Amino acid sequence: MGACSVKELPGIPAIHGIKTAVSISSSRNPDAYTLPDGSGQLAQRAINDIRLSDAEWKALLSRNEYKILRKKASEPRHSTKWPKGFEDFYQPGVYFCSCCFAAGAETPVYTSAMKFESNHGWPSFWTNVRGNVYEQRDMHRWRSELLCTRCNGHLGHVFRGEGLFISHGHPTDERHCVNSTCLVFAPAEGQELVKPTYNGLVF
């Protein structure tokens, strides 16, 4: 497969550093993905077809990717505004799971059509790509954790009952609070891939 590297988007600084054997065959068109017209479309369970040892994940992922995706850490609030991350990034395209991507697989988890500004301090989405994200209670049992169905990578948390669907006009009452580090962005117009540059503390 052809290698992908990060190049400059029009009007957007280049983010360097991706070297991968993944070729992009999933659609980059956000309109190609189903949007729910009522309830959300989180999967009920994991597929878990991408399985690596902890040592293999640690070797493949960056320090922060490993801590967040495999050990369930989080970025600080408002730490990943562009170009450090995707909190306030609204280019059209598709977001892949960065954990799957490091393992050589492309798993679209969100699209720009699902993204909105919530002012909560992390990238926010009102739904996910059907079948590729599921939820479970986190270790504290009071929050619902979002995970990639294919690699079980931790993405963030889902919140309900905030009433944001009323002010934003979404058909679901969900806010998917996702760490930028968990995402690789594939622009709709076919430019090269984009990863966040934030490398500060995570907790």
Report the catalytic residues: 177
Max Cα distance, the chain (Å) = 45
Which class for 110: exposed (0-12), middle (13-18), buried (19 or more C-beta within 10 A)?
A: buried
DSSP 8-state code for residue 32: G
Are 96 and 106 in contact, with CB atoms under 8 Å apart?
Answer: yes
d(CA 170, CA 174): 9
d(CA 31, CA 27): 9
